[in-house]
Amino acid sequence: MKANHLWRGPLAAIFLLLTFSACSGDDKAQAVDADHLRYVPADTPYVLAMNERLDDEILDAFEPHVDEILAEYRALLSNIAASARAEAEAADDGAEIDQIVGGIDALTSLLSVDGMEEAGFAFGSRMVFYGNGLLPVLRIELSDPALFEKAIERIEEQAGEALPVAQLGEASYRYIGDDEARILIGSFDGYAVFALAPSTFDDGQLRRLLGLELPASNLSDTKTLGSLATKYDYTQHYIGFVDTIKIVDSLLEPGNDLDAALLAGADFDPATISPVCKAEIRSVAAIAPRVVFGYDHVGLDAFSGGAVVELRSDIAQALKGISNVVPGLGHDQGGVLSFGASVNFKALREFYAARLDAMEADPYECEYFAELQAGTVKGREILAQPIPPVAYGVRGFNAVLESLDGFDFASGRPPEKVDASFVLAMDDASALVAMGMMFSPELAALNLQPDGKPVELALPQVSAVAQEAYAAMDDTALAVAVGAGAEQRVAKVLTAPESSPSPVFAMTMDAGEYYRLIAESMTMTPDEDVDELALETQAVARRIMLKLADIYDRMSVELRFVDEGAEIRSRVTLKDL
């Protein structure tokens, strides 16, 4: 078997530990003293940098948990090796199976904190993933380059086949690939370096790609990441960006020979794209010129961060108006799960109409956007559809599932008991209730008033699914709660705190319960269609989910529109480690 095939797949699991090993602490330092950034061209179109090492306190707390999870991944890779052996034996390819299993076993041995340290990767190493032009490069700090070299030699020995080696002057690197593209693996200046390159690259191009020849201007000189950390309150432990405009420019007008060679190898000729199309592609890219991401806090209590899709200023400002106020939305109210959304239908309609106006006033001429341009006709038809006035008064909703007893995900058994609440926010809640009273005498008999006082829902439709059910209403919201304590909870959700700015979407959940439910769903009954290997693999995945359930406490994610664009934020709190 070719070494090219041998090294695929299992390498991916190695990056689980590498990624974790460099993304912690809580230092929002604006200055970035990260030596690895001098290898990153200042005009890189994308970068993910981990510039600060892990705090010892966090390392010590997470290490045993990481090791337990990686132990399960080792078991998973062992199952892959067993599957490869079974397939090879069935195909009478036994002569190659020892190389496959040997390579997988060698890679598997790295999947532990001790294993990575024995390979020269300190637990907490700094690293950076970036584009040298469009080509990806991963650079990881080594504690001992000699250990990294010995680890590769051990893997090659167990696999029974050495990777090809090439020279660049006094430096050398290994590679995996064919006549079209190669993955380069080397150790330079105290860093492990992995890069993707066309096989046609000459020595000069490879030297620049691998950082043996430094860029004339680098990311450390520009202070770009420090500025982003200041602007978005991110730490320097996990921070980066994707520059849409630079990527488009590199594809349409490659500014260096590395990108030109890459595009030529991919049989892509920018000259075949018309000037009109190039201009319009650039205009589309300018709608969302950059995506920025990072952590704003990592500690033993929680870690949080997010991403901002930076938008053209006029679009960003218009989108800020489409959210609305909903009680409780964007706040963790506990329970198993809560989720909701907000909307200003009038502002949303105006935003959509403005986009159609712009496309009709200055239509796209490029054939790539012909279908998009033709969609303006359908868009006008949608806007022409009548909408009930009451719909414009709807602000959004928020649902909270407090508890779910007796539910069995694996068997599909429905819950025996549900405690939940739901709030619908609108400009005139009384109008909605009055409309309902016209069709339901039972609802009219409740005499629900906009005074915030709970009223028992003595309705046949409700009593069939809940022993306790209450409703309450004020001028701008209608709430319903079912289950134990419904009378107290309905008043609580009606007056729950509001967020500013309000999210367009928000969700919180019991993360431990979430992973436990996933684990319970991973239960296959042995039968003729399920082999033993599949059952073992499923069991490994189930144990990983249960381990995550032991680590994570609460999880939240929300989408807001802010001055810069669309902001996605997430937060995970941790159990006592």
pLDDT tens across the length of the chain (577 residues): 344 444 433 443 444 344 444 443 344 444 445 689 999 999 999 999 988 876 778 878 888 888 888 888 888 777 777 777 777 777 666 555 666 666 677 777 778 888 888 999 887 788 999 999 999 999 999 999 999 999 998 888 877 788 899 999 999 999 988 888 899 999 999 999 999 999 989 999 999 999 999 999 999 998 899 999 999 999 888 899 999 999 999 999 998 889 998 998 888 999 999 999 999 999 999 999 999 999 999 888 999 999 999 999 999 999 999 999 999 999 998 889 999 999 999 999 999 999 999 999 999 999 999 999 999 999 999 999 888 877 888 999 999 998 877 666 555 666 667 889 999 999 988 888 887 777 777 777 788 889 999 998 876 666 555 678 899 999 999 999 988 889 999 988 999 998 888 999 999 999 998 888 888 877 655 555 666 767 777 888 888 899 989 999 999 999 999 999 999 999 999 998 7
Read off the tokens for 1: 């078997």
Tally the domains of the chain: 3
Between CA 351 and CA 100 the distance in angstroms is 57
Burial environment of residue 465 by CB neighbours within 10 A (0 to 12, 13 to 18, 19 or more): exposed
| Domain annotation covers residue 241 | yes
Same domain, 424 and 339: yes
| Domain annotation covers residue 51 | yes
- The label of the residue with tokens 């990056």 reads 15
User: By C-alpha distance, which of 413, 494, 485 is closest to 449?
Assistant: 494
- DSSP state, 547? H
| Domain annotation covers residue 99 | yes
Whether residue 39 contacts residue 219, with contact meaning beta carbons closer than 8 Å, is answered with no
Same domain, 333 and 300: no
What pLDDT is stored for residue 416 in this prediction?
Answer: 65
Between CA 212 and CA 197 the distance in angstroms is 15
Between CA 243 and CA 288 the distance in angstroms is 9
| Domain annotation covers residue 354 | no
What pLDDT is stored for residue 22 in this prediction?
Answer: 42
Same domain, 175 and 299: no
Same domain, 207 and 287: no
Per DSSP, the residues of 275-317 read HHHHHHHHHHHTTS-EEEEEEEEESSSEEEEEEEEE--HHHHH
Between CA 471 and CA 466 the distance in angstroms is 13
- The label of the residue with tokens 């051990």 reads 154
Same domain, 164 and 309: no
Between CA 77 and CA 469 the distance in angstroms is 51
Read off the tokens for 150: 């010995």
Same domain, 173 and 203: yes
What are the φ/ψ torsions at residue 5 (nearest 5 degrees)?
A: -80, -35
- Sign of the C-alpha dihedral, residues 442, 447, 451, 455? negative
Alpha-carbon distance values, 258 to 38, 138, 262, 278, 522 (Å): 19, 17, 6, 21, 46
pTM, two decimals, is 0.86
Q: The domain containing residue 53 runs over which residues?
A: 3-222
Please name the helix (run of DSSP H) or strand (run of DSSP E) that holds residue 74, with its range, or none.
helix 56-90
Same domain, 397 and 342: yes
Burial environment of residue 377 by CB neighbours within 10 A (0 to 12, 13 to 18, 19 or more): exposed
What is the distance, to the nearest Å, from the Cα of residue 94 to the centroid of all Cα atoms in its chain? 41
What pLDDT is stored for residue 339 in this prediction?
Answer: 95
| Domain annotation covers residue 383 | no
Same domain, 233 and 343: no
User: By C-alpha distance, which of 31, 480, 19 is closest to 223?
Assistant: 31
**Which one of 222, 249, 283 terminates a domain?**
222
Whether residue 402 contacts residue 419, with contact meaning beta carbons closer than 8 Å, is answered with yes
Same domain, 196 and 236: no
Same domain, 246 and 208: no
What pLDDT is stored for residue 190 in this prediction?
Answer: 93
Per DSSP, the residues of 450-501 read TT---EE---HHHHTT-S-EEEEEETTEEEEEESTTHHHHHHHHHTPPP-SS
**Which one of 160, 192, 222 terminates a domain?**
222
Read off the tokens for 402: 């407090």
HSE-up (13 A, CA, CB side) for residue 384: 6
| Domain annotation covers residue 260 | yes
Between CA 148 and CA 10 the distance in angstroms is 17
| Domain annotation covers residue 366 | no
Between CA 299 and CA 302 the distance in angstroms is 5
Same domain, 336 and 262: no
What are the φ/ψ torsions at residue 363 (nearest 5 degrees)?
A: -65, 150
Burial environment of residue 226 by CB neighbours within 10 A (0 to 12, 13 to 18, 19 or more): middle
**Which one of 170, 194, 222 terminates a domain?**
222
Same domain, 120 and 206: yes
Residue type, 552: Y
What is the distance, to the nearest Å, from the Cα of residue 371 to the centroid of all Cα atoms in its chain? 29
| Domain annotation covers residue 375 | no
